[in-house]
Chain A
Amino acid sequence: MAKPTARIEPLAALKPDLYQRAWQSVPHPTLPLLATTHANQVTVFSLSTLSQHSVLAGGHTRSVRSVTWQPAQPAGRLRLVTGSFDASAGLWTWDGTGAGAGAGGGETKLEMEITLDRVDEEEQQNEEEEWEFNLVLEGHEHEVKDVAFSPSGQYLATCSRDKSVWIWEDVGAADGDDEWETVAVLSEHDGDVKAVAWCPDVPGRAARGRYSADVLASASYDNTVRIWREDADGEWVCVAVLEGHDGTVWGMQWEPRPEGNKFPRLLTFSADATIRIWSLREEEEEEEKEGEGGSRLFRSGLGGIPNTMRRSMREDWDCTAVFSKVHTREIYSASWSAKTGIVASAGSDGIIALYREESETAAAAAAATTTTVEVTPESAWRVLGTVSNAHGPYEINHITWCKRFDPGAGERRGEEEMLITTGDDGVIRPWQVRIS
């Protein structure tokens, strides 16, 4: 059986070119929209028309580095948060209920999308009027590097060069107020915190021990990743420090679709030009007991330490894979597809690389995890394909999988995936990926 390979082919770039460094392009969780940060603004593109939908300008005095869509919004409303070098995060709302009135509740995804396209056309003359800059979240001392919403949209995490991670709660959501409270300031990193990522709401994420379900990861200039959980007293605590990268960890992504009820793994990428996968050491027997509302007080491995104490202890995370090395310089971005499980990476060397987990070696690695504690970081991930000079001579700052909604996708519109890269050249380029 021939090993599959990937062909990565450029599609037409989104319009217009931005002609200046663009940092990040984040797809909306459900709608055909993409938000790109560049200079001190955000350009939102329609993935249906592959052209500009709207612009968010005037909110920040310095570059906007990052953006995140707040999930679970009422029909017709768009909401996003921007993180800026001006040390603040901004909350923006686009209320399409006026223009798209009559749509009512209970819209299907497709209907929403059509509504948005219509609004898009109507609003082209005064596109900037629909976005309202609602609120500035202030508190960080230096540049805000990244912003991320928890799966429910209840919590927002921000991180900064001031070495801290802040967690904010959208306390006014129920009353429709713009009221946000700081619920935690986490200052354990020894360097800039480059990125934050919430664990997706997958079955394996369930509350564990004395911790609630939400899990946050942060990546730092101090070469580590930290995992944070909320304990029974509502305190956010660091439960693990992932050490292994030999350079700034530029970011991470949680496994979007873990196998069975496994806890999602974590993918990290670094200035050391490597990509690693980390796994929580789960003890299945213990899980069953807990699942049954277990009253087991002791854990054999820790020689009789009472459960209550053990549960305040840290989680054990192991590096379970280091990807085959493709990149020659810093990796700024990687994206793990929920649909295919394929990982795409990009960075300073202008290369796009795709990797897929080898199923037989993965099974072997999984078997090894349950029998031994020591896991040799061995690459079970194979390179499927690469593209050089993907943005000509320029660096690639971001890569993401997203659903394809343009007419070119034909009948697979809304299902087929494509890659989108964001470069120092200000070009936002979609790529078609074919596995053969």
Chain B
Amino acid sequence: MQKSDLDNANPTIFDVSQLPSRSQKKRSVRQGPDSKYDSILFPKHAWPWAGSKTTSTWPSDEEDDDGDDLRDDNFVEEPIDQQEIYDLISTISDPEHPHTLGQLNVVRLPDIHLSPSPAERSDPKCLSTVLVELTPTINHCSLATVIGLAVRARLEQALPPSYRVDVRMKDGSHAQDDQVNKQLADKERVAAALENDTLRGILEKMLETCA
């Protein structure tokens, strides 16, 4: 974004070493589809997943033969936890500062909620909900919607399709909470926004810093 006046010229920056992380690297971050462009255009639907283990983009580290009668859902059974979600989105760049959403404390580990929780998640067919509450750097941040969109796009691209992604502004953090939240929850508006070239350019740039 070329802007002469930043919405927040002096944000608090956290050093990467201060950010929450696992004590030991457990596994590498999941990779989305091959082409970032496709993944933004059609998050989580752009690659051939149906019934083909060889072309699956998900690491196939377990047998999946529970006989789903509709199709072969080749998902990893290992539960995804809050830290993994954090790792996926904290590395997204802010659209106006040369820092990540983690460094700016827009994305916070305690504000990532998984339902059911990773421990309870026994049935692989059960849908999971990820709720991410964002805290924009100042309360009238005009780019809240863009940041929210980037978080939603990143998670829809990286998580298995059984995850429903809800992105909201943390209560009281943003002046137009309800409007922004409703817009981010609207599948049709999100889909249309991701077909907008200008917006897609901004999002691609924000997602470049993701592992």
Contacts and interface: CB of A to CB of B under 8 A. Distances in A.
Interface of A: 10, 17, 19-21, 39, 62-63, 65, 85, 143, 145, 161, 192, 194, 221, 248, 271, 329-330, 332, 348-350, 388-389, 391-395, 424-427
Nearest to A429: B70
B5 to A, nearest CB: 28
A425 B45 contact: yes
Contacts of A192: 188-189
Given A161-B189, A393-B75, 17 more contacts: A19-B48, A20-B42, A21-B45, A63-B191, A63-B192, A194-B188, A221-B182, A248-B182, A271-B185, A271-B186, A329-B164, A330-B185, A332-B187, A348-B187, A393-B125, A393-B127, A393-B161
| Interface majority SS (helix, strand, loop, mixed), chain B | loop
A161 B185 CA distance: 15
Closest 3 CB pairs of A and B: A393-B162, A393-B161, A85-B192
B164 A17 contact: no
Contacts of A350: 127
Contacts of A63: 191-192, 195
B45 A392 contact: no
B80 interface: no
A321 to B, nearest CB: 26
A17 B46 CA distance: 13
Contact of B160 (A20, A62, A393): A393
- Among B42, B45, B69, B189, the most chain A Cβ lie within 10 Å of the Cβ of B45
Q: For this complex, into which size category does the number of interface residues on chain B fall? A: 20 to 34
A162 B160 CA distance: 33
Contact of B125 (A17, A62, A389): A389
A20 B46 contact: yes
Interface of B: 42, 44-46, 48-50, 68-71, 73, 75, 125, 127, 160-162, 164, 182, 185-189, 191-192, 195
B73 to A, nearest CB: 5
A44 B187 CA distance: 24
A271 B185 CA distance: 9
Contacts of B44: 424
Contacts of A332: 187
- Among A392, A394, A425, A427, the most chain B Cβ lie within 10 Å of the Cβ of A392
A349 B195 contact: no
A10 B69 CA distance: 10
A394 to B, nearest CB: 5
B192 A161 contact: yes
B161 A392 contact: yes
Given A248-B182, A348-B164, A425-B45, A392 B192 contact: no
Given A389-B70, A425-B50, A143 B192 contact: yes
A427 B50 CA distance: 10
A335 B15 CA distance: 54
A10 B44 CA distance: 24
B154 to A, nearest CB: 17
Given A85-B192, A389-B125, A393-B125, A21 B42 contact: yes
A221 B70 CA distance: 34
B46 to A, nearest CB: 6
A421 to B, nearest CB: 11
A388 B68 CA distance: 12
Given A389-B70, A392-B161, A20 B186 contact: no
A9 to B, nearest CB: 10
B73 A393 contact: yes
A379 to B, nearest CB: 25
Nearest to A85: B192
A271 to B, nearest CB: 7
Contact of A392 (B42, B70, B182, B188): B70
Contacts of A248: 182, 186
B157 to A, nearest CB: 13
A64 to B, nearest CB: 11
A424 B156 CA distance: 12
A40 B164 CA distance: 25
17 contacts: A17-B50, A19-B45, A20-B42, A20-B46, A62-B195, A65-B188, A85-B195, A145-B188, A161-B192, A192-B188, A194-B188, A271-B185, A329-B164, A330-B185, A348-B164, A388-B125, A393-B161
Contacts of B161: 392-394, 424-425
Contacts of A194: 188
- Among B68, B164, B192, B195, the most chain A Cβ lie within 10 Å of the Cβ of B192
A425 B162 CA distance: 11
Nearest to A223: B182
Contacts of A388: 125
A194 B48 CA distance: 30
Nearest to A65: B188
Contacts of A19: 45, 48, 50
Contacts of B45: 19-21, 424-426
Nearest to B160: A393
Nearest to B75: A393
Contacts of B187: 330, 332, 348, 395
Contacts of B160: 393
B70 A10 contact: yes
Nearest to B161: A393
A143 B187 CA distance: 13
- Among B49, B162, B164, B188, the most chain A Cβ lie within 10 Å of the Cβ of B188
